[in-house]
Amino acid sequence: MTLYQRLVTGMLGIFLILISSVFITQYNTARHYLIEQQTIGVNNLLTAMVMATLPHLSTQDIDGTKAVIDSIYRRGFHGTTTLNFLTKKRLSQAISTQNQDSQNNGLKNTPLTWHDPHPPLSPPQWFRSLVKINPVTAQSDVVWNNTAIASIEITGSSHNAYSKLWKATTHLFINMLIVFIIGVLLLAVFLRQLLSPLIKLQQKSNAIAQQQFGEAIALPAAKDLRTLVTSFNFMSQKIKSHLEQKAHENEQLRKIAYQDPITQLGNLDYLKAKFTGSTHSRSTLGGLVLLRSNLISQHLEENNIDSAITDGFDLENIANAESLSRLLAQRLSSLLDDNSTIASISHYEFVIITTHCCAQRLNDLAEKMMHLANNLQSDPFRISTQHTMLGLVINSKNDDISNMLHKAKIAIQEASLVSGKSIALFDQDSNPDLKIRTKQEWKQLVKNAVNQRQIKLHTQYVINRQHQPIHQEIFAYIEQGDERFSAAQFIDSIEYETEGLLLDMHVLELVFVRLSSAVNIEAVTVNISIYSINSDNFLRWLTSKLQSHPHLSEQLIFELPENAFIDYPASAQQLCDVLAQYQYQYGIDKFGRNFSAIRYLNQFSPSYVKLDFAYTINIDQQQQTDVLNAILRIADRLMIKVIATQIETSQQLEQLAEFSLYGYQGFVTAQLLQVEHQN
């Protein structure tokens, strides 16, 4: 219970006690007053009745006596009256008269009694049982000539007292209730205003815990709280500065390890870390383009000649080479998508690796690169050779990044021997059985597969540190007769096309059907393409699906590529808002591909991120270890779980166990789960 709730509860309790005390006091006062008034009224009525009946009783006028008493009842008396004759003579005469007037009523030598035939309405029975008001009885003799000739006894009715007490009680209760409600509202507003500085401190503390600092809290009017708020603002600013400094240090550490200081692109170590030793990356049909700029190389060669002659460096040549290298890096980066990786392996050599790429697209990419590089600068040195040379390599199953770079350099060397040839594809015919499809062919293949329901699903487990399953990632593949095409082969061709939307919707339909019919199945994750994230049609369709499947919010997780949050933050925000509205979770895939990819996490709150496998390879090297620890520290401060991907060997899993990772995914996870199941 919060301080505000405690204060409100306590003060309401005290207020309720005071209101109850006033109510009880007023109630008892009204009750005693009504009882006293009933007694006074009965006594006054008895006196009046004695005086009114005396003339008639003294003359033995029984009819007159009855008329007097009847008139009293007609004026609203509701009690009981009994008339007793005391002398024998009078009694005989009264009885004789009564027998004459009441032969049909069966009255024989009995006192005369009057009752109210129409008593007033009484309050509820439960009220009468709680409140006891006994009727008042008074008796007096009628004296004539110093002789009591008759006795009158009156018993008052408690109906009036009950009715008046009930009315007074209800009015009192309503008034007290109104006062209590008004008091509660005023008290709540007063305490809310009084405690607003503390509430702001609490909200600010929660925001700081979520890495959201915002503006400083305004100083309150209360002097004793000013010091507290001032100290809190100071500590908040200190924490913000410390976290920003740490984030800057971690980013600098990553840059030192994997970023070229001149072009700000990934360096050769980054490429090796990302692509060396990964069975998944080697087995995926893709390509590499190596660009060598002779223009930049010429500057460096001239600097080497000058330094040999003058025993010094020509700073102007170095500056020109670095400036051209930075400019070319900026232009080449504009050609990237989330399935491409660019790196600068020297001042004049740039590499773009595209996963799951066909030969036609690789050649188109090379032509664009050559165009940008050749237009970089006119030939100020009147060099007759080509400014730009490009080597293309189609990835084979056993190739790693070093072999591919070696082949690309061989292709450039061979191309330089052929006049006018700037683009060369290495060993294109070395894999005659491999069918290379164009982008349009892949799009048509996916479209036909969706229409003919040839899309199949298989899963890969993600396990935690105890080797227990966390969830399963769903992968789609196409099965046409004896041929099988994995998503890795065609996803690059449809990622930014409408076929990507068709595939996503079809896969989600299959997943919804599977989850709705399954019992006790682990949660599954489904990847969403960039085209779908930017599609309003997909957002409306997904909203309808999520609304009709609220029971699957714990079983279905969406994985969005990191590129969507960087290049399309508005679309990513809309999709995340829809998922949050229906309590569905999402994760971020390929986390860390961009060197500036950390800051967007302040805006989004994923359930987890899947670390790009470049950061989990070769972790036996100290530099790689430092970078991974830096990323994990950032994720830990943001309270985001990190999952390592493409873990392929037990040795790699043992090395990663030393880090604070939440889970692991790769070919080895299925083997571990199988061993655990057998044991």
Distance (Å, whole) CA 461 – CA 475: 11
Q: Are residue 545 and residue 604 in the same domain, yes or no?
A: yes
Q: Are residue 336 and residue 446 in the same domain, yes or no?
A: no
Q: Are residue 14 and residue 126 in the same domain, yes or no?
A: yes
pLDDT per residue over 533-544, tens digit each? 999 999 999 999
Q: Are residue 335 and residue 225 in the same domain, yes or no?
A: no
Domain boundary among the residues 152, 178, 204 is at: 178
In this predicted structure, which of 60-64, 117-121, 573-577, 617-621 has the lowest mean pLDDT? 117-121
Residue 639 falls inside a structural domain = yes
Q: Are residue 407 and residue 507 in the same domain, yes or no?
A: no
Residue 188 falls inside a structural domain = no
Q: Is the pLDDT of residue 14 over 80?
A: yes
Residue 198 falls inside a structural domain = no
Q: Is the pLDDT of residue 636 over 50?
A: yes
> What pLDDT band is residue 622 in, cutting at 50, 70 and 90?
confident
Q: Are residue 333 and residue 372 in the same domain, yes or no?
A: yes
Question: How many domains is the chain partitioned into structurally?
Answer: 4
For position 338, what pLDDT does the model report? 73
The more confidently predicted of residues 297 and 169 is 169
DSSP state of 291: E
Residue 518 falls inside a structural domain = yes
Residue 587 domain boundaries? 439-677
Q: Which long-range contacts (CB under 8 A, 24 or more apart) does 583-586 make?
A: 583/550, 583/553, 584/546, 584/553, 584/556, 584/557, 584/558, 585/553, 585/557, 585/558, 586/557, 586/558, 586/559, 586/560
For position 495, what pLDDT does the model report? 85
Q: Is the pLDDT of residue 527 over 60?
A: yes
Mean pLDDT confidence for 352-377: 82
For position 205, what pLDDT does the model report? 83
Residue 151 falls inside a structural domain = yes
Element (H, E) at 644: strand 641-644
Which range in 28-32, 478-482, 545-549 is most confidently predicted, on average pLDDT?
A: 545-549
Instruction: Give me the CATH number covering residue 317.
Output: 3.30.70.270
What DSSP letter does each residue of 487-510 carry, written as one string? HHHHHHHHTTSHHHHHHHHHHHHH
Q: Using CB atoms within 10 A of its CB, is residue 262 exposed (0-12), middle (13-18) or buried (19+)?
A: middle
What DSSP letter does each residue of 581-608 carry, written as one string? HTT-EEEEEEETSSTT-SGGGGT---SE
Residue 95 falls inside a structural domain = no
Domain boundary among the residues 186, 221, 256 is at: 256
Q: Are residue 588 and residue 450 in the same domain, yes or no?
A: yes
> What pLDDT band is residue 430 in, cutting at 50, 70 and 90?
very low
Residue 360 falls inside a structural domain = yes
The more confidently predicted of residues 399 and 171 is 171
- Spell out where 251-387 has E strands: 287-293, 340-344, 349-354
Instruction: Give me the CATH number covering residue 21.
Output: 3.30.450
Q: Are residue 475 and residue 555 in the same domain, yes or no?
A: yes
Which range in 400-404, 489-493, 656-660, 670-674 is most confidently predicted, on average pLDDT?
A: 656-660
Instruction: Give me the CATH number covering residue 567.
Output: 3.20.20.450
Q: Is the pLDDT of residue 420 over 60?
A: no
In this predicted structure, which of 113-122, 165-174, 246-255, 402-411 has the lowest mean pLDDT? 113-122
Which pTM does this prediction carry? Answer: 0.54
For position 551, what pLDDT does the model report? 92
Q: Are residue 639 and residue 505 in the same domain, yes or no?
A: yes
For position 679, what pLDDT does the model report? 43
Q: Is the pLDDT of residue 236 over 90?
A: no
Q: Are residue 422 and residue 503 in the same domain, yes or no?
A: no
pLDDT per residue over 86-101, tens digit each? 765 544 444 444 444 4
The more confidently predicted of residues 368 and 122 is 368
Q: Are residue 375 and residue 508 in the same domain, yes or no?
A: no
| Mean pLDDT score across all residues of the chain | 80
Give the residue among 417, 420, 409 at the shortest CA–CA distance from 386: 420
Residue 500 falls inside a structural domain = yes
Q: Is the pLDDT of residue 224 over 80?
A: no
Q: Are residue 326 and residue 453 in the same domain, yes or no?
A: no
